[in-house]
Amino acid sequence: MRSDTLTPDMTKACSSLNSLLAPLCALILLTLTHAQNQQPKPSADPFGAAPHASQAQQENFPPQLLDELAAIKTAALGDDYAYRQVAHLTENIGPRPSGSPQAKAAADYVAAELRKLGLEVQLEEVKVPHWVRGAETAELVEFSGQAAGTSQKVVLTALGGSTATPAEGIIADVVVVNNFDELKALGRDKVAGKIVLFNELFDKQKSAAGMAFMAYGEAVRYRGAGAKAAADLGAAASLVRSVGDSDFRLPHTGWSAPAGIPAGAVTAEDAELIAHLSREGRVRMHLTLTPQKLPDAVGYNVIGDLKGSEHPEQVVVVSGHLDSWDLGTGAIDDGAGVVVAMQAAEVLQKLHLRPRRTLRVIAWMDEETGGSGSQTYSKDHASEFPNHVAAIESDAGAAHPLGFDLKMTPEAADLLQPVAGVLQSLGATVLQSSAYPPGADIAAMSESGVPALGIMQDGRTYFHYHHTAADTLDKIVPGELRENAAAMAVMGYALACMKNPLPR
């Protein structure tokens, strides 16, 4: 799914485009679909019918397994292991961009913690890009109504992979466009030598209504592909309006396809300022971005196995990504995903529950800047994919879980209804089929046929902080993180212990 125009983040966004549709509608649909699949025929009134497990569901989830799943849920909800782990990753280790000493320290730390849990751990070497942020400043040096001797500061940040301006910066006219069509209509004559600003709005109404990932998917294409489109018309630099819905004049970084020109993101407030002034006349900007692209570095996927008692060769992956952007400390994106996967193993060990199949915890490297971690895993483990029973990734924050996005056959999804039953007291009952792999790191597995699941979190505040300096530990609500750990542990153990592997 990756290309110059479809970034890892877009894959994630696409996968969750519909992930936060009104849960009630989804439940009604599930109820109806489920009711239609049942034998014998259900009551004509699905809202009045008592829940009834199909024969296949009962076979796969005998009473003892359901009891174990309930015990796992209770234990996970009373356990602060995940929170303590994410506190260490964010507060003690800090930001973990690919190629950084912190990314290496985090891989060593997670490996050691998984060994402490008794897992068989390997560090899988991954070649990662190494880009480091430099100076990043901008000011408007010419605009309508300007008082003599003044400039207007613009708050911005460089996008990952951006090239540098000279140390003293560049001064150029700014041209504002709302979309790619407007850029194309301007043509090379009006774009060459200028700083292009893509002023695509992030749809706050969608995100407030629980459709944040759709809003993200609509806006993020300009961050991913804008610089390349501007460079193709000879632009001197490219800026996007930050892809996020915060009102705190915070710039949001993120991945931008290599374009050979400096690429940055201004805050939503500064995009409004520049658009306002450019409607009144000429706007010139002094822009300084001095990031550096260093030689590729070595990073690590951390892989920890809790070996299966009956089918050790069959694997259920529970995962999140360990790398983060450099502005914050990578708490909600995606320290949270890594630690809820770790807690899934921790809870099973604490309860002395050995899964029938292997539960594999993976902390992925380099989700944010190209996905080399998942690419390496797909290459090294492709021959094992027929025995990868399922893969789960949590990469949509740490807020209350609503259920799971599923990329699998309808028959497989239907078999998981008893798990939703166990999670009902959490509210994590939505099992929503997705047209796209629900997680960038498990996309390759999903495309090769492995049933894939993503935890569906409440995303209403996720894009306030996503890829900003404010993605920090305080944004994680401990109780909500425990709910996510419970959802991951229950689903992971269910997949590892149900009678038959999920059908493909």
Provide the annotated active-site residues.
367
Smallest gap from Cβ 293 to Zn ion, in A, equals 22
Closer to Zn ion by Cβ: residue 270 or 333: 333
Closer to Zn ion by Cβ: residue 61 or 462: 462
Closer to Zn ion by Cβ: residue 397 or 501: 397
Smallest gap from Cβ 411 to Zn ion, in A, equals 30
Among 305, 323, 393, 395, binds Zn ion (CB under 5 A): 395
Q: Which range of residues in 161-169, 292-300, 389-397, 406-414 is near Zn ion by CB under 5 A?
A: 389-397
Are 27 and 429 within 8 A, CB to CB? yes
Smallest gap from Cβ 374 to Zn ion, in A, equals 12
Residue 456, classed as helix, strand or coil, is strand
Q: Which range of residues in 214-222, 280-288, 325-333, 415-423 is near Zn ion by CB under 5 A?
A: 325-333
Smallest gap from Cβ 330 to Zn ion, in A, equals 8
Sheet holding 452-457, edge to edge: 120-132, 292-306, 357-364, 311-321, 388-393, 452-457, 401-407, 430-433
DSSP 3-state percent helix, strand, coil across the chain (nearest 5)? 40, 20, 35
The residues, any chain, with a CB within 8 Å of residue 376's CB and separated by 6 or more, are 124, 125, 126, 127, 301
Q: Is 333 in the site for Zn ion (CB under 5 A)?
A: yes
Smallest gap from Cβ 395 to Zn ion, in A, equals 4
Are 204 and 212 within 8 A, CB to CB? no
Closer to Zn ion by Cβ: residue 366 or 395: 395
Q: How many CB atoms lie within 10 A of CB 352?
A: 6
Closer to Zn ion by Cβ: residue 327 or 494: 327
Sites for Zn ion among residues 259-298 (CB under 5 A): none
| Alpha-carbon gap, residue 395 to 202, rounded angstroms | 20
Q: Which residues pair with 315 in a beta bridge?
A: 358, 388
- What mask, x for binding Zn ion by CB under 5 A, covers residues 396 to 435? ----------------------------------------
Closer to Zn ion by Cβ: residue 305 or 334: 334
Q: Which range of residues in 243-251, 353-361, 393-401, 450-458 is near Zn ion by CB under 5 A?
A: 393-401
| Alpha-carbon gap, residue 212 to 214, rounded angstroms | 5
Q: Which range of residues in 43-51, 62-70, 145-153, 330-338 is near Zn ion by CB under 5 A?
A: 330-338
Amino acid at 434: S
| Alpha-carbon gap, residue 92 to 71, rounded angstroms | 32
Sites for Zn ion among residues 140-199 (CB under 5 A): none
Sites for Zn ion among residues 348-377 (CB under 5 A): none
Q: Is 200 in the site for Zn ion (CB under 5 A)?
A: no
Using CB under 5 A as the binding criterion, the count of chain residues that bind Zn ion stands at: 3
Smallest gap from Cβ 19 to Zn ion, in A, equals 14
Q: Is 441 in the site for Zn ion (CB under 5 A)?
A: no
Q: Which residues pair with 176 in a beta bridge?
A: 197
Are 334 and 381 within 8 A, CB to CB? no
Sheet holding 152-154, edge to edge: 152-154, 136-142, 284-289, 170-177, 195-198, 237-241, 263-266, 156-158
Q: Which range of residues in 54-62, 156-164, 231-239, 388-396 is near Zn ion by CB under 5 A?
A: 388-396
Among 334, 366, 405, 458, binds Zn ion (CB under 5 A): 334
Smallest gap from Cβ 89 to Zn ion, in A, equals 14
Smallest gap from Cβ 448 to Zn ion, in A, equals 22
Q: What is the DSSP letter of 382?
A: G
> Residue by residue, what is the 3-state secondary structure of 287-333?
EEECCEEEEEEEEEEEEEEECCCCEEEEEEEEEEECCCCCCCCCHHH
| Alpha-carbon gap, residue 192 to 231, rounded angstroms | 8
Closer to Zn ion by Cβ: residue 60 or 102: 102
Closer to Zn ion by Cβ: residue 401 or 501: 401
Residues that bind Zn ion (CB under 5 A): 333-334, 395
